[in-house]
Amino acid sequence: MPRPPIDPTSLPGRPCSIASALEIVGDRWSLLAIREVMFGNHRFGEIARNTGAPRDRLSARLKGLVQAGVLERRPSEHDPRYEGYHLTEAGRDLAPVLRTLLAWGDRWAVTSPPMRMLHHDHPLAPATICTTCGELADPADLTRETRIPHWTDAGHEPPAA
Amino acid sequence: MPRPPIDPTSLPGRPCSIASALEIVGDRWSLLAIREVMFGNHRFGEIARNTGAPRDRLSARLKGLVQAGVLERRPSEHDPRYEGYHLTEAGRDLAPVLRTLLAWGDRWAVTSPPMRMLHHDHPLAPATICTTCGELADPADLTRETRIPHWTDAGHEPPAA
DNA sequence: GCTGACGGTTTGCTTATCAAACCACGACCG
DNA sequence: CGGTCGTGGTTTGATAAGCAAACCGTCAGC
């Protein structure tokens, strides 16, 4: 990973991997660019057209994502004279994020789902399980444990005098 | 839902629920604000402190999220003189998005996870299954089906003349 | 060496973002 | 009743980012 990992305490607000993750992919175009690469579109022009992003913004974001180790440039097998954008392992690992966003958008953001995910040959109905116990991850069974001193769910609490 | 759902074809680029979802929660502060509300922080000041967002931005985003039907204002039970921000069902349904982002950030974005999700009393190891067949959703078994004419994985293809 | 496609970069303008100051309201204090 | 504190924002003025469109360099084909 070219980009060093972020120290979560260096960001403003609560130290949290969500904030750190958003530091990398949390802007207007990054996730859409990653979606396109995941769909098999590896070239600048394709990504620009299919996301609708301005070319200069896209150029900057792709640079950032390469820097962050989410994308890498690599000559395409079929056409070795072009260096396309490809997913690294970190990039491929964003698939669940895009899937949950897609599922949420399908349910809450759009008039009618413009795309469907198929698992084998039936529509995917995704749910999260906990692989250590195999059970469905019911929000009611989840708790958080903050590992940074003086931080709780409620916020930052400096040591009482 | 106060806000009408988005027609995905009205957005630039590929019609896709991911883009529509990002239209609602895809900016720098929304998801962090939602995280705070999910953590039980319902007041403007708490959210501002714990996210690090500038107050004017936060004010604008919270308005937008209320408009979008992700948050709602409701007097707190304990202290009925304050109208706090609370999650709607759409907001609660963003939990999986935050969980996947957290998991990705833990793995790829930070030096060391500042927070841990506990399922019952063991660390949560999330994975996606398909509830229709019960199997783990292996990316290799997933395909996409676009339901908008002239759009494929590769992009927009106007009807051949 | 001309033309066109590709992959960006530069330009000039518009818009968003930010930190800090400001304001309104209610509670509480005397 | 005036003063001041906590809360929840809004306003302000400077800075940075975003955008569409034009431009540039490279390579391929002719």
In the structure, how far is the CA atom of residue B158 from the C1' atom of nucleotide C25, in angstroms? 58
Paired tokens of B87: 């999650």
- Spatial contact of B35 and A16, defined as CB atoms under 8 Å apart: yes
What pLDDT, in 10s, does the model give residues A97-126?
999 999 999 999 999 999 999 999 999 999
Residue with the bigger pLDDT between A20 and A79: it is A20
Who among A51, A108, A109 is closest to B13 (CB)? A51
Report pLDDT for A161: 47
Taking residue A57's Cβ as centre, other Cβ atoms within 10 Å add up to 15
- Spatial contact of A92 and A99, defined as CB atoms under 8 Å apart: no
A82: pLDDT confidence band, cut at 50, 70 and 90? Answer: confident
Taking residue A151's Cβ as centre, other Cβ atoms within 10 Å add up to 18
Query: Which residues have a Cβ under 8 Å from the Cβ of B43 and sit 6 or more positions away?
Result: B82, B84, B85
Mean per-residue pLDDT for B95-115?
96
Report pLDDT for A158: 74
CA–CA min distance B81, chain A (Å): 20
Q: Going from the N-terminus, what domains does chain B have, and what CATH number goes with each? A: 8-138 (1.10.10.10)
- Nearest protein residue to nucleotide D20, judged by CA and C1' positions: A54
Mean per-residue pLDDT for A9-35?
96
Q: Is pLDDT at B102 greater than 70 in this prediction?
A: yes
What pLDDT, in 10s, does the model give residues B36-80?
999 999 999 999 999 999 999 999 999 999 999 999 998 866 666
Interchain proximity B6–A156, CB inside 8 Å: no
Residue with the bigger pLDDT between A77 and A11: it is A11
In the structure, how far is the CA atom of residue B59 from the C1' atom of nucleotide D8, in angstroms? 9
DSSP letter for each residue of B64-117:
HHHHTTSEEEEE-SS-TTSEEEEE-HHHHTTHHHHHHHHHHIIIIIBSS-SEEE
Interface mutation target, options A55, A97, A117, A157, chain B, most CBs of B under 10 Å:
A97
SS3 B20: helix
**Contact between the CB of B29 and strand C at under 7 Å:** yes
Closest to B148 in 3D by CA, of A51, A115, A84:
A115
Q: Is pLDDT at A70 greater than 90 in this prediction?
A: yes
- Nearest protein residue to nucleotide D18, judged by CA and C1' positions: A57
Closest to B58 in 3D by CA, of B69, B68, B48, B49:
B48
Report pLDDT for A157: 84
SS3 B60: helix
